[in-house]
Structure 1
């Protein structure tokens, strides 16, 4: 009797397959540099053999300190071919921050862009610098794929979170989780053979990697945007004929500010957004600026992967929602007592899917705190599910403001503030207050000077009095991480 089976899924699989199926197709573009699938397959094998020649063995961790560039996909694939585990590192970190990740992950080697030498700590591990010496290193390495066996449930990477409370946590993401994400993304957003996309978000971040690398895993072409610039992105879409592009709301906001009248992009047919909810007023601008382009809005996290997606047919009708559960995903919305809540009632969102993390590296307590015995995981967000099953993110649990014993969800206030013509961006937080416990404070980026009295009157016509901010603080920009999420913890610490 035959038993169902087959090769385990690994993130190197797609490059191996298309290196043979479509060897002459361009896999990666970076400025005037290009890699065909044949070249990507060969160079990633050389990376694998070069790492094994350093004495690394199955399961060892290899850190990668690098921005978006041609070498990123080949290094990630090479690490996988060697049976090693990738540790992506934010190139904006300081040397002590990088050192923490290297030590906590147990990394035995580091590949780093030679332009980032200042961030490389003096630690006793093997170091390879991406530049001329890297080319020499892979040039002398064997070109034969080592085919080190890897179980698909083993981690392909340890992705470190931003560390919103204490030190960053290392999220263990399996080959199976990420490969299924690639295939589902190709189905949902068109990242397969013959399709072109752009690596806009940084690849060291979970979503940035997933949606850029999905293209080469599924036979498409990805162009590298080394640093975000609205005009450069639009020119690249036009020049490279990109069809599907992943953005975060901040990108849309910057494009709107720099080029409010976007020229017609003939090839673009799909935009998909993540990282934070797309404000309704900004979403309307996206519809107007990119007519005929299908706009998706998805929700997820490093730990859970993609959880929901709002598809184009419902994009306007359900603006403010992040849609229904994604492929192969179950969700559960529960109240403070742990019981399911009904439609229209706020509750904490849990999800269960093949995309979930394996857990936090060497942190079983943190893993247990966010998971249930039956396999659901929470990212700590409060949501409302309507009668049709559409999910809307209300807020992070830790961001809910309790003022005078009443809950205020910052997103409610932010959505209204953003409809004021003088407000470009905003973030609402709770700050300690002797009388109310917490007071509502709004941080604002404006197109023109913002008068607190005018804003106050504007909000009081549209919001209950207890939701109206007690203070308005104008700032030149809101602090964000590389994924575009606003760092409210930094606003709370602003004197």
Structure 2
């Protein structure tokens, strides 16, 4: 199989392997980009742009604040719970410059989910948008977090725009609640304090952790994938080589980035563009289609990073086709399966093909992608350089080309393991370093791969992984639910939707159960369909048979 991969990569002008500077870290990549592309635009959000130099200067102040004005030390975990705002890269690079480990945190988390992640990661600090503060306020006393840095929407904008946006959000739109959180400090105050303190560069090595990226699991417990600087730097270099056929240039590209930075897909893609000195336009709310299209029209984009549901939503919007797509060189799709209809509709409107890739949180995330010179819409492309692939049967034996098997991956982008869960790590990574994805795939005789099934019971809703055990654990705690099971069902809008089969102790309406779920689960995890039954199908040992319900 790997010979086929090498031949396919070479056919499309891609080197089969990469060389990574053993001293390179995410921080050194950032500093290199600043040195080379200083005045060029780096990040934009809500109509304001930071250059590479400005981003670095703010990050330096943030790092100095963490070092000199908190009790945090290198290796400590700091959560970032922000939508796509320019404050995010400043906090990210600043934390890493101070030698800390970033915990990417979903802004949509419920109190239960946030408390679990903060405690599981051992986070001692958090950077959070004021709009989200009520959730943190309700649980912070139950965690080890003792430094809370609160930002508002336009904190890094010029004075006039900052006051207009922040005061409008707080007093006119009532988006910002009144908060009482011990030891909280404003983002701008933290930067101000950092500006007066001396920064001491932290000693960083590739083997050190860069981020904890949380993902679900078969047990239903969210686990932190440990991604080192080596993992992330390697995947950036692998992706750059893979995308070499798209005609992208240094310091001349603009990527519209509507997917959230706390998701590993956008996180790595954002860093990829930064390394080449290009411009990332951050979209705080991708569900606001009008605002997203306004930014598409404002910034002549050369790259777009999306998922199937977003392509469909945009293409069905009446004003999207009015945008100028003449500069668009690359459209990437990941996170969920790309449908042929969505790809065709996008190509018809924009004139750009959609190139599908494949990856997982545990692989930093890119495993494979379609090359610029040879797109096959119904595939996940070719494995990126320096990546080995095999498909295995249920006995663990490698299957032949063209046969179905569980996809296993080996390469420098594979995570170090799950945070403080050696048993769970051993379940997915063997002694030889092979990571078993749980996806059933086959390799074509041209080296391209296709995903054909899923070994896990995982449900993918709009590109987000949802694990049935977590849903069942939460819903079964409702006093009127005896037992339940969660499965994925096809959905035209989200790819899959969640359906709950439940046995009740007392009558309860679907509306009441949905309200309960909304209180305890992130929005994309809330089931769309319910079916009440007298009993659920079970195996001889009493295990609920989700496959029968599906």
User: What is the TM-score when the length of structure 1 is the normalising length?
Assistant: 0.78
Residue 34 (structure 2) pairs with residue 19 (structure 1): yes
Residue 194 (structure 2) pairs with residue 135 (structure 1): no
Q: CA deviation at 1:354?
A: 1.1
Assess if the C-alpha contact under 8 Å between 2:407 and 2:441 holds in 1: yes
Q: CA deviation at 1:261?
A: 6.8
CA distance in 1, matches of 2:488, 2:193: 59
SS in 1 for 2:409: strand
Q: CA deviation at 1:145?
A: 4.5
Residue 308 (structure 2) pairs with residue 249 (structure 1): yes
Q: CA deviation at 1:257?
A: 2.4
Partner residue of 1:387 out of 445, 457, 467:
445
Moved more, 324-333 or 126-135: 126-135
Q: CA deviation at 1:443?
A: 4.4
SS in 2 for 1:375: coil
1:314 is matched with 374
1:154 is matched with 208
**Aligned pairs (5 A) from 1:344-423:** 344-399=402-457
Moved more, 247-256 or 257-266: 257-266
Partner residue of 1:50 out of 61, 65, 82:
65
2:338 is matched with 278
Moved more, 191-200 or 216-225: 191-200
SS in 2 for 1:12: helix
In structure 2, relative to structure 1, the CA distance for the partners of 1:181 and 1:24 (3 Å cut) is: same
CA distance in 2, matches of 1:8, 1:272: 30
CA distance in 2, matches of 1:150, 1:261: 45
User: What is the TM-score when the length of structure 2 is the normalising length?
Assistant: 0.70
Q: CA deviation at 1:225?
A: 0.5
Q: CA RMSD in A?
A: 3.1
Q: CA deviation at 1:102?
A: 0.8
Q: RCO greater where, 1 or 2, for CA within 8 Å and sep 6 or more? A: 2
Task: Please give the per-residue CA displacement for 1:158-215, whole angstroms capped at 9, x wherever unaligned.
Answer: 0111456421010101112112222333441648422211221101111121112322
CA distance in 1, matches of 2:330, 2:273: 14
Task: Please give the per-residue CA displacement for 1:244-272, whole angstroms capped at 9, x wherever unaligned.
Answer: 11101111121122249723412211101
In structure 2, relative to structure 1, the CA distance for the partners of 1:297 and 1:445 (3 Å cut) is: closer
In structure 2, relative to structure 1, the CA distance for the partners of 1:164 and 1:249 (3 Å cut) is: farther
Q: CA deviation at 1:486?
A: 8.4
Assess if the C-alpha contact under 8 Å between 1:231 and 1:259 holds in 2: no
Partner residue of 2:94 out of 47, 53, 78:
78
1:456 is matched with none
Partner residue of 2:140 out of 122, 125, 142:
122
Q: CA deviation at 1:96?
A: 2.2
Assess if the C-alpha contact under 8 Å between 1:248 and 1:275 holds in 2: yes
Q: CA deviation at 1:494?
A: 5.1
Residue 81 (structure 2) pairs with residue 62 (structure 1): no
Show structure 1 runs of 5+ residues with no match: 401-409, 412-428, 430-437, 447-478, 480-484
Assess if the C-alpha contact under 8 Å between 1:191 and 1:214 holds in 2: no
